[in-house]
Amino acid sequence: FKIISESGVAAGIRRIEALTGENVRAYYDELEKKLNEAAELLKTSPSEVPEHIGRLQKELKEARSENESLKSKAARDALGDIMNKVQDVDGVKVLASALENVNMNELRSLGDELKQKLGDGVILLASGENGKVSLMCMAGDEAQKRGAQAGKIIKAAAAIVGGGGGGRPNMAQAGGKNPEKIPEMIQKVPGIVAEMIR
């Protein structure tokens, strides 16, 4: 007799599925076959499969962490080049740029660094990753007084890349589903800001 699954079907009632007789032997034969296949794939013995999987999980976690660090470093290395893209839109500094494979947390972090370098103005960063778009916008106090609000800017920008979002006048974020439209959107940001400035 071997219980193979247990589930709740209603309050106070549980369903148990079990095997008996020859079905139990067949069940264990199949389990042993799968364990041997796993051991063969891992190039180890069946008894060492759990330990081997544990090691692989640890290595994968370390590799992912290293990959994130390298991506973050590459994005930071690009900051110098990005600062060359600052435009003056009727007295408001506007910086719009695209980065590759950078997640939302990294965009915010990079935005903070660029804000320190730029001073007052508008920053919009975009990144395409896994077929999706992440957008982050920041607007300084003076830019906001002139009418350039991050929430409104990002709403207009997100519409171009097939998405939506919003936020506060000083900081906003959004998503989209058309990464191929990022260059067009970046090009249009100064115009979007120009329409808002008073």
Burial 168-186 (b: 16+ CB within 10 A, else e): ebbbbbbebebbebbeebb
pLDDT for 4: 87
pLDDT for 101: 81
> Among 68, 77, 75, which Cα is nearest to 136's?
75
* Helix, strand, coil in percent for the chain, rounding step 5: 55, 25, 20
- Locate the domains of the chain by residue range: 2-74, 78-196
Burial 76-110 (b: 16+ CB within 10 A, else e): eeeeeebeeebeebeebbbbbbbbeebbbebbebb
The token pair at 91 is 């007295």
Protein fold of 78-196: Diaminopimelate Epimerase; Chain A, domain 1 (3.10.310)
Other residues' Cβ atoms within 10 Å of the Cβ of residue 35: 13
Cα–Cα distance, 121 to 104 (Å, whole number):
20
pLDDT for 83: 79
Q: Which residue has the tokens 């947390």?
A: 105
Q: What is the pLDDT along the chain (198 residues), one digit of tens a residue?
A: 898 899 998 998 999 999 999 999 999 999 999 999 999 999 999 999 999 999 999 999 999 888 777 766 766 666 667 878 899 999 999 999 998 888 888 889 889 988 988 889 999 999 998 889 999 999 999 999 999 999 999 999 999 999 988 899 999 999 999 999 999 999 999 999 999 998
CA torsion sign for 111, 194, 155, 144 is positive
